[in-house]
Structure 1
Amino acid sequence: MTDDGTLKPSTAYVLDEQVGYLLRLANQRHATIFQTHAVDGLTPTQFTALVRLAEHGKCSQNQLGRYAAMDIATIKGVVDRLRGKGLVQTEASQQDRRRSLVSLTPAGQDLVQDLYHAGEAITDETLAPLSPAEQRNFIKLLRKLG
């Protein structure tokens, strides 16, 4: 321990160079930007679920969770909140009554174009500090990590 009460690192560990820390900072910046462009107060998970439904059409709640990279409990809560906002509807599957199918309502369909525009603005603002080549590289590297 040093005279000022701080611990002296025993290794060359530097927090400012750690991937988790840097990803968290980048995510905090992105989340702030997302909130400034949020459509109808949607959360990032709600945004993702609506866009995936627009891309894939009616599907089971479990399949929507896989499309949106959310676990079963998370997608259930997201669908419940979107249903409460009148943006999605659910119905029992004709093939398996235990399975819930999710689809966009007309209001949800109307909102999708706004989501696309907001998503483009959010991405543009998030990536603004990078050159176009760096942006392409960054997206490529993130896909590799995901």
Structure 2
Amino acid sequence: MSDARAGSGQTRQEVDILLVEDNPGDVRLTKEAFTDGAIDNTLHVVTDGKEALNFLHQRDEYADAACPDLVLLDLNLPKKSGEEVLEEIRGDEDLQRLPVIILTSSEAQEDVLRSYELQANAYLTKPVDPDAFLDTIQTFEEFWLRVVRLPPCDRTDGG
């Protein structure tokens, strides 16, 4: 893995992020925010829940996928919902410690509660305003990629 898991307060070298998002506009804004940020990162993008699980388990076209340092997960996804993806991650011994941050447009209290019941590490609501969205991603980056110490990848199937 990368040196992204250096101790708190240390400069991180590179971070692999899996973005699970089906809205092309939100993908574009997220990429823009990370490009403008100070942390070197690789942003892997998948557009549905089934694809996310294939990426995480290195299945099909993702056989050589990197083990991400964290996942940004939308709740409203085709094929498999973000809630189902989170539930599967938390039920998998090799993935259960992977930090998963919900990044969704839903402000519904039941979505917030259910996400935390399924052990999401954080719940971020996407602002509608593009500038506010960029600010949210940059604040996320500052905290999760500069302050937080991330766990090592435990995936035993090559990641």
* Common fold by TM > 0.5: no
**Larger strand fraction of residues:** 2
The TM-score by the shorter chain falls in which range? under 0.3
Q: TM-score, normalised by structure 1?
A: 0.24
**Larger helix fraction of residues:** 1
Q: Which has the higher contact order (CA 8 A, sep 6+)?
A: 2
Larger-gyration structure (1/2): 1
